[in-house]
Amino acid sequence: MSAPRPPRAADGDWPLWRRLLTETKCVVLRLLAPKGIDVAAPEQPYLIVPVLGQSNAFGMGLGLDLSGPDRPHPRVHQWAMCGPSAGKIVLAVDPLIHEIPGKGVGFGLTFAKHLADETGRTVLLVPGARGDTSFTPKNGYTWDPADTHTRVNLYRRAVSAIDDALAACPGSEVAAVLWHQGESDVPLTSGPVYQKKLDFLIEDLRGRYGKDLPVLLGGMAPEEMELSGRDYSKIHAVHVDTPNRLAGTAFIPGPRNSVNSATDRHYNAAGMRQMGHDMWATFRELRAEQLARYATG
């Protein structure tokens, strides 16, 4: 009789068999990813908005309505990250095409629609999120820019895609970064370590794309923080305090009563749209002069 399988560390790496199964599923999902809808190149350069982080950034909102509030906008495009359109610009349609195709509604499209309407410009989303990922290496993934050992560095993968988009679209600029992450780091990372890594990520983005680059941090779901049984306070406090540490960043609280269910505490479609609206309202107040410059070309 074989020895019983040792339990995995709480919220750490999965057993090897599960990691292999998950990666196999991801390969299949990438192969089955839909071909994007072709778009014409805009007359003016793109305003680029990366959407980075874990599952809520990836888009898990149930209640997709493509004929209503989630209908695509002709001047909101995306840099497809996988599938037959990988590395190409196509129409942005929820679920977005992250490094595996998204599952539901996210907040990126709502934010980008506002930006397109306010400025008359075309917005290019770069969807670079992946669920259940952290700064601390987990299942072969990390968001730590300084990590050179973990199998997949999601941060470096994201900036590579942003750089490819900038090279393909001369004159374009990164207008803002939308970030939503932290849940998976709660049991794995101390508050001070998380703060150090988050601040380093923001400073590295600014070193690449502009010293005043706005970074908008979405708040974790209130119900998840209250009902999970884990201590979310340390990571939540880092998020809330970020604008005090780094000028030009903003924290956007998560809407209450806006999760998929009592057991699936990702934001639902309405919650995702609200997060996108709130991110936009904050950005609009934070960068009025920047928006005026975009509108005048």
**3 state SS for 159-191:** HHHHHHHHHHCCCCEECCEEEECCHHHCCCCCH
CA distance 232 to 183: 8
Is 138 inside any structural domain? Answer: yes
Mean of all residue pLDDT scores within the chain: 94
Instruction: Give the global pTM.
Output: 0.94
Is 124 inside any structural domain? Answer: yes
Residue 6, pLDDT above cutoff 50: no
pLDDT of the residue at 162: 98
Strand partners, 66: none
**Nearest by Cα to 222 from 195, 250, 253:** 253
**Nearest by Cα to 271 from 286, 252, 256:** 256
Tokens of 78: 């995306």
- Give me the mean pLDDT over the 204-216 stretch: 98
Residue 177, pLDDT above cutoff 60: yes
Q: HSE of 148 in the Cβ direction (CA atoms, 13 Å)?
A: 1
CA distance 229 to 177: 30
CB within 8 Å of 223: residues ≥ 6 apart:
256, 257, 259, 265
Helix (H, G, I), strand (E, B), or coil: what is residue 271? helix
Residues of the chain with pLDDT > 70: what percent? Answer: 96
Is 240 inside any structural domain? Answer: yes
85: domain CATH number is 3.40.50.1110
| Residue 124, CA distances (Å) to 77, 90, 116, 168 in order | 5, 9, 10, 12
| Residue 158, CA distances (Å) to 5, 7, 141, 149, 165 in order | 36, 33, 13, 17, 11
CB within 8 Å of 3: residues ≥ 6 apart:
none
pLDDT of the residue at 9: 41
Residue 167, pLDDT above cutoff 60: yes
Under 8 Å between Cβ of 205 and 163:
no
Is 1 inside any structural domain? Answer: no
Please tell me the least confidently modeled range out of 12-26, 162-176, 256-270.
12-26
With cut-offs at 50, 70 and 90, classify the pLDDT of residue 3: very low
Please tell me the least confidently modeled range out of 22-36, 50-64, 103-117, 136-150.
22-36
With cut-offs at 50, 70 and 90, classify the pLDDT of residue 11: low
pLDDT higher for 158 or 7? 158
Residue 42, pLDDT above cutoff 80: yes
Residues of the chain with pLDDT > 90: what percent? Answer: 89
Is 13 inside any structural domain? Answer: no
In tens, the pLDDT along 235-294 reads 999 999 999 999 999 999 999 999 999 999 999 999 999 999 999 999 999 999 999 999
pLDDT of the residue at 5: 38
CA distance 249 to 176: 10
- Give me the mean pLDDT over the 84-96 stretch: 98
Is 75 inside any structural domain? Answer: yes
pLDDT higher for 159 or 12? 159
- Give me the mean pLDDT over the 193-216 stretch: 98
pLDDT of the residue at 116: 98
With cut-offs at 50, 70 and 90, classify the pLDDT of residue 297: confident
Is 10 inside any structural domain? Answer: no
Q: Which domain holds residue 172?
A: 29-295
Is 69 inside any structural domain? Answer: yes
Structurally, the chain folds into a number of domains equal to: 1
Q: E strands along 42-135, which residues?
A: 47-53, 76-79, 89-91, 123-127
pLDDT of the residue at 7: 39
